[in-house]
Amino acid sequence: MRLLSRAACAVAATLFACIDAHGPVAAEPAKIRVGYINNTQSAVLVNMKAFAKEGNLDIDLIPFTRYPDVQRALAANSADLGVIAPNGLPTAVAQGDRNVIAVKDLAYGGDALVVRNGVSVQKFQDLKGKRIGLAEGGIAWMMFVMLLEKNGMTYNDIQAVNFSAATDMVNAIKRGEVDAVGLWEPFVTQTVVEGSGNITPVVDYRETPVAALNSILGANKAFASAHADTLVAALRTVLKSEQQLEKDNNVWVSIIRSYSNLDDATINRALAGIHYGGPQLSRTKLDAIATFIGKAGIVKSDMTGKLGENVDARFVAQAAGKSEAEVLK
């Protein structure tokens, strides 16, 4: 039998492993750029590295400060896969930007309204007239407004104070400048542990049409089309990472500790209300967001039921070994 040269094997290795006189030649790891945020949910993306070898992936982790920054990187082909806010995709599609596709639900929970100590909120209507710090335009803000409507109130019934950063809201409630703040983990737990306020149970984001979904995985559309196998392998790695973190809190805590100054007790408390989405993609929740942003005038076009190919369940279905119907919620 005639042996192939090592150079010929290297070319063929993208399709199959070939054997030369020096033994098997494996395919080069597929490269993928993954955008993440230094928060509790994104720990699962950092943990992808632990499973990269078995997935034959070369994962380049790219840190960002905010979800919109990740989405812009995906749209500009500066990242291939990354965590984005659920409202980011319907907003972009309504504005004509179809460069990013939703490929998987990432995390649920972790958002809460923290009421300052000494402020009485026994029922939802007690929020009337209160000074409430919110990050307008974000998913936590959107869910809060959904609950206002559900409870027969409007935005004018509260004194909304807009903030661009969670740390500013934490400081504002410490100083007594607001009566409550809409925060996300780990800032919720940080505020409670420091004694500035407590979570009010009258505001439960699970009761919204979004059901407390606060992050999804988006992918660059061109990358998904050209490198479908790599995207499937990456999502398979994410699913394995999710399973490990939810079974072993110590791993989850250690990852968050590596990029935060929080102690382990605070991190553990912050993780209590968060769970990963697993192999599913919630088109109905994205449609609910499309309806909301259309009614609120955030975008000009109502994209309810029109997100089309920008919500693509094929990749997570293949990664989980399921049908698209099984993963598309």
Q: What is the mean pLDDT of residues 11-36?
A: 66
Strand ranges in 47-164 using DSSP code E only, listed in sequence order: 57-64, 81-84, 100-108, 111-116, 131-134, 159-162
Element (H, E) at 146: helix 139-150
Number of Cα atoms under 13 Å in the Cβ half of residue 93: 27
pLDDT score at 301 = 87
Query: What pLDDT band is residue 261 in, cutting at 50, 70 and 90?
Result: confident
Fold type of domain 30-108+214-327: D-Maltodextrin-Binding Protein; domain 2 (3.40.190)
Q: Which residue has the tokens 């293949």?
A: 318
When mean pLDDT is compared across 14-28, 125-139, 160-174, 305-319, the lowest value belongs to: 14-28
Burial class (CB within 10 angstroms; exposed 0-12, middle 13-18, buried 19+) of 263: exposed
Identify whether the C-beta of residue 210 lies closer than 8 Å to the C-beta of residue 140.
no
pLDDT score at 13 = 45
Query: What pLDDT band is residue 24 in, cutting at 50, 70 and 90?
Result: low
> What is the pLDDT of the chain when averaged over all its residues?
92
Domain ranges in the chain are 30-108+214-327, 111-207
Q: What is the mean pLDDT of residues 142-171?
A: 96
Q: What is the pLDDT of residues 265-320, one digit of tens each?
A: 999 999 998 999 999 999 999 999 999 999 999 999 889 999 999 999 999 999 99
pLDDT score at 149 = 95
pLDDT score at 176 = 97
pLDDT score at 260 = 83
Q: Residue 137 CB: number of other CB atoms within 10 A?
A: 16
Domain 111-207 has CATH 3.20.20.210: no
pLDDT score at 259 = 84
Q: What is the pLDDT of residues 64-88, one digit of tens each?
A: 999 999 999 999 999 999 999 999 9
DSSP 232-290: HHHHHHHHHHHHHHHH-HHHHHHHHHHT----HHHHHHHHTT-EE--S-B-HHHHHHHH
Q: Which two tokens stand for residue 145?
A: 């407004």
Length of the chain: 329
Query: What pLDDT band is residue 202 in, cutting at 50, 70 and 90?
Result: very high
> What share of the chain in percent tops pLDDT 70?
92
> How far is residue 21 from each of residues 13, 17, 25, measured CA to CA in Å?
15, 13, 10
**CA angle, 19 then 23 then 25, to 5°:** 65
> Are 30-108+214-327 and 111-207 the same fold in CATH?
yes
Which residues are CB-contacts of 328 (< 8 A; sequence separation ≥ 6)?
Answer: 280, 281, 283, 313, 317
For residue 248, is pLDDT > 50? yes
pLDDT score at 154 = 95
For residue 15, is pLDDT > 60? no
Q: What is the pLDDT of residues 92-119, one digit of tens each?
A: 999 999 999 999 999 999 999 999 999 9
For residue 63, is pLDDT > 70? yes
pTM: 0.89
